[in-house]
């Protein structure tokens, strides 16, 4: 028996998070073809070529690709690739620092200990997690990270650790406990993972976690952010900008002392 888990839009293929396949000694290509054949006719179509597939948590591209042999009790995770870049890796540089951001899908299996585990496995990376409810956009993330990295460069971090400074600036507070309580990882809540360091380590991290990922920035959190930071219409009207809420959030993050 092989367990197939579906992530993101793939859940709509079978109207389920997973199914069990009673087939042994098949490869990934044969598995995908079998899924296409047994998919209910009244669910959405899917392209068997545009997929990210992991076997027991390992990216199949690091194994044998579509020729990877599957064994009884293997767990296969399937994530559809959405064209236009929304499912592609989001990587950029800030102050010569390599940065990658990705969003974890809500689950009961991941909590704050998972973040600690990643930090142990990848000690050369700076890793932080922020509740997706408090992320406005990719540019919002970039601007906050620029503040934290600039603070590190000038030795004026809000805390001894860069990752803590990042959390505090997203939370708009200097109180670590409050920032963790409001913006930290919680069960059944999406969160954004931010990682910085060498590209080789970022690549290995991505292989380690990609089966948990979903489409980033797919929901709007405007109302949540306005309520949390007590931002009202009059406040936004005073900002001469195309992105007034984003600019206000960054301003609040920049004046913390």
What's phi and psi for 91, nearest 5 deg?
-130, 145
pLDDT for 107 beyond 80: no
pLDDT number for residue 83: 42
pLDDT number for residue 231: 94
Give the confidence band of 154 by pLDDT, cuts at 50, 70, 90: very high
pLDDT number for residue 85: 41
pLDDT, average across residues 171-188: 90
Domain ranges (residues) in the chain:
2-80, 90-254
pLDDT for 87 beyond 70: no
Classify domain 90-254 by CATH number.
3.30.2380.10
Architecture of domain 2-80: Roll (3.10)
pTM, to two decimals: 0.67
pLDDT number for residue 51: 74
What's phi and psi for 103, nearest 5 deg?
-115, 130
Least confident of 85-89, 177-181, 236-240: 85-89
28 Cβ partners below 8 Å, 6+ apart? 53, 55, 60, 65, 66, 67, 68, 70, 76
pLDDT in tens, 11-63: 888 888 888 988 878 898 888 888 888 888 777 766 666 677 888 878 776 67
pLDDT number for residue 48: 67
- In angstroms, the CA 247 to CA 230 distance is 14
Give the confidence band of 166 by pLDDT, cuts at 50, 70, 90: very high
């Amino acid at each position: 028996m092989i367990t197939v888990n579906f992530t993101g839009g793939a859940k709509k293929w079978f109207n389920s998070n997973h199914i069990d396949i009673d087939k042994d000694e098949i490869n990934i290509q044969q598995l995908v073809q079998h899924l296409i054949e047994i998919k209910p006719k009244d669910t959405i179509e899917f392209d068997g070529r545009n997929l990210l597939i992991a076997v027991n948590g390992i990216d199949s591209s690091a194994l044998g690709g579509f020729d990877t042999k599957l064994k009884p009790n293997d767990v296969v995770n399937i994530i559809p690739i959405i064209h236009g870049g929304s499912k592609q890796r989001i990587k950029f540089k800030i102050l010569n620092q390599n940065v990658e951001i990705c969003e974890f899908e809500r689950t009961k299996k991941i909590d704050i200990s998972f973040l600690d585990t990643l930090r142990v496995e990848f000690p050369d990376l700076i890793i932080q997690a922020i509740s997706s409810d408090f992320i406005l956009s990719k540019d919002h993330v970039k601007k906050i990270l620029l503040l934290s990295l600039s603070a590190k460069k000038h030795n004026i971090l809000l805390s001894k650790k860069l990752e803590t400074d990042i959390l505090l600036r997203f939370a708009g507070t200097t109180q670590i406990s409050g920032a963790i309580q409001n913006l930290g990882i919680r069960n059944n809540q999406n969160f954004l993972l931010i990682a910085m360091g060498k590209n080789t380590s970022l690549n290995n991290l991505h292989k380690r976690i990609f089966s948990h990922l979903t489409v980033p920035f797919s929901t709007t959190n405007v109302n949540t952010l306005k309520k949390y930071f007590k931002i009202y219409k009059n406040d936004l009207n005073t900002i001469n900008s195309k992105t007034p809420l984003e600019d206000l959030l960054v301003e609040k993050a920049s004046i913390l002392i």
